[in-house]
Amino acid sequence: MAEIRVEQLRKAFGDFIAVQNSNFVVEDGEFFVMLGPSGCGKTTTLRMIAGLELPTSGRILLGGEDVSQRRARERDIAFVFQLFALYPHMNVRRNIGFPLLAQGMPKAEIRTQVEEVARLLRIDHLLDKPVSGLAGGDRQRVALGRAIVRRPKCFLMDEPLGTLDAEFRDLMVHELRELHNRIHATTVYVTHDQHEAMAMADKIAVMNHGVIEQFGTPQEIYDRPETMFVADFIGSPPMNFLRFGARLKKGDRKVGVRGAEIVIPELREDAGEAEYALGIRPEHIRFDDASKLRGAVYGAEYLGTTQVVAVETADGMLKARIPADQTVKVGEQVGLALNGARLSVFDKASGRALRTALHDEALRSHGHG
């Protein structure tokens, strides 16, 4: 297996910049997810790693070797597309073994490797069945088997679960992660689905308009979004924003929003006078009559152990995740208390998160202090 290093990677199609100066490292054996909306540049980046597109500029290193200008067949990788093309006239065994046959491997060795992969994917009982009669999930497994059997340096997957229904997708998300835990293959996985990304990834790159907005672990990206785009894209429901104007300086621990004084993590930078947005995850809001920050209950969505309550405020709709047994009535006026230690502060013009005490944890966990 291999480390993938991407340096200053850029791709232009005429005047359109699909990928702008991307830099990231996928460690050996890591499950790395590129996440973002359609057209954000994630598939173009994947195709450049695969050698299906050549970069306009920048470098791609696979296991320390510069492969930027090499064609796909000269790179030791396996690409799994969204629409798995299986050979309909071959059975499962021959479909999985086809890449090895094409390499000229002896038949006995092919048989051994195919059976080993089929056991790993729990489809060994289907080896002599035709692929045409297989259920969707088993077809996915056969296609994965065909990718795995070559033992490539890395796997590249482009929305491989995109065509599955929700229940099936959840099952395959679990299976793919389990499979990764067993074979530890370096994997680059592209999706627009944050649930897939959060459930499977060791690291995530969130992309928007050809730019990597944030690179980090699922927890870092959820707890400390670096931009308003990331904050809004990750989380279900996404982060709430409260707008306010202020002069902010290093050391500030409070901000004024609509007459309410709100505690925030201590600011680590001077930000001056500007429009800002306070970012609050739904689970960091609770109802408290004493709070000056008020709104009217608009509706509630019951989720078993919790409920998501929409509250209409002067600044728009806020969503709070509270215990399911807490009674709320539509139209009722409520006070909103925010968990000051977990809030983010964004510069509204640039969308960038200000450095606060919240980021001290990140520095400590990365061993910088």
- 250 and 272 both lie in a single domain: yes
Domain boundary among 168, 197, 223: 223
Output the pTM of the full model.
0.87
Domain boundary among 223, 251, 286: 223
DSSP symbols for 207-276: EETTEEEEEE-HHHHHHS-SBHHHHHHSTTTT-EEEEEEEEE-TT--EEEETTEEEE-PPB-S--EEEEE
The Cβ of residue 129 has, within 10 Å, a number of other Cβ atoms equal to 15
In angstroms, how far is the first alpha carbon of the chain from the final one? 32
Q: Please state, in angstroms and rounded to a whole number, the distance separating the CA atoms of residues 308 and 283.
A: 9
pLDDT 10s digits, 254-293: 999 988 899 999 999 999 899 999 999 999 999 999 999 9
- 272 and 175 both lie in a single domain: no
Q: Which domain holds residue 40?
A: 4-223
Token output for 176: 């793919």
pLDDT 10s digits, 124-177: 999 999 998 888 778 888 988 888 888 887 889 988 887 777 777 888 888 888
pLDDT 10s digits, 209-243: 999 999 999 999 999 999 999 999 999 999 999 99
- What is the per-residue pLDDT for 244? 93
Written as one letter, the residue type at 315 is D
Residues 6+ apart with CB under 8 A from 66: 59, 60
Phi first, then psi, for residue 13 (nearest 5°) are -110, 95
Domain boundary among 177, 206, 223: 223
pLDDT 10s digits, 42-59: 999 999 999 999 999 999
- What is the per-residue pLDDT for 302? 93
- 38 and 102 both lie in a single domain: yes
- CATH number for position 80: 3.40.50.300
| More confidently predicted of 19 and 152 | 19
Q: Please state, in angstroms and rounded to a whole number, the distance separating the CA atoms of residues 186 and 312.
A: 46
- What is the per-residue pLDDT for 363? 59
- 143 and 234 both lie in a single domain: no
- What is the per-residue pLDDT for 108? 95
Residue 172: in which H helix or E strand, if any? Answer: helix 166-183
**Total domain count for the chain?**
2
Determine the 3-state secondary structure of 10 from DSSP: strand
- 43 and 92 both lie in a single domain: yes
Q: Please state, in angstroms and rounded to a whole number, the distance separating the CA atoms of residues 233 and 351.
A: 13
